[in-house]
Amino acid sequence: MASSKRVFHKIQELSKCAEGTRYILNRNPRNLERLRLAYKNDGYHLEKPVRNFWHKLELTSSNKYVTAKVNHFQNGTVVESSTSEWAVKQHLFKGNDTSAYINLAKIFANRCLEAGLTEMRCDIQPKPNGKADIFLKTLTESGIKLQEPERIKPIQPWDMERPEKPWEVTE
């Protein structure tokens, strides 16, 4: 218990800003994606599946197991969970039934939220009241948005509309 208190206080010390600083350098590589400024690969308009995403949800099912993963457009898999994992498998009766999809969605949503991923693109077209549909409903109930926000594009001098930036306060 004492060591965790020391670690907590050390983290608080390191996260404080020094007096007189005007700006903070954010070294998070996903920061521009969170601000909606990062480049989003468009691909060609005739391509299917489309490639304009930062994070994309993939759901793969086999005869025994189900796997859910989030892929980043440059770096590959970011978060992954599966019913074939030992810690998940021992609590399930079967690896690909409806309860497995529900439990996998809860575990996957928890891992995504811990990693800071709250929005991702989802191209899955589920059947109504099917297993994939239940998976997606459970994900949205757990706090994951299945649609990414649009990228804020730089304003050109000839643009008629100048949208408000989300980080600016106009009060």
Q: What is the 3-state secondary structure (H, E, C) of the chain?
A: CHHHHHHHHHHHHHHCCCCCCCCCCCCCCCHHHHCCCCCCCCCCCCCCCCCCCCEEEEEEECCCCEEEEEEECCCEEEEEEECCCHHHHCCCCCCCCHHHHHHHHHHHHHHHHHHCCCECEECCCCCCCCHHHHHHHHHHHCCCECCCCCCCCCCCCCCCCCCCCCCCCCC
pLDDT at 36 exceeding the cut of 90: no
pLDDT at 132 exceeding the cut of 90: yes
Q: Report the pLDDT value the prediction gives residue 171, as an integer from 0 to 100.
A: 66
pLDDT tens-digit readout, 37-83: 888 887 777 777 778 889 999 999 999 999 999 999 888 999 999 99
pLDDT tens-digit readout, 98-130: 999 999 999 999 999 999 899 999 999 989 989
User: What pTM, to 2 d.p., does this model score?
Assistant: 0.78
pLDDT tens-digit readout, 92-104: 999 899 999 999 9
Q: Give the chain's domains with CATH numbers.
A: 55-142 (3.30.420.80)
pLDDT at 133 exceeding the cut of 60: yes
Cα dihedral sign for 1, 116, 33, 108?
positive
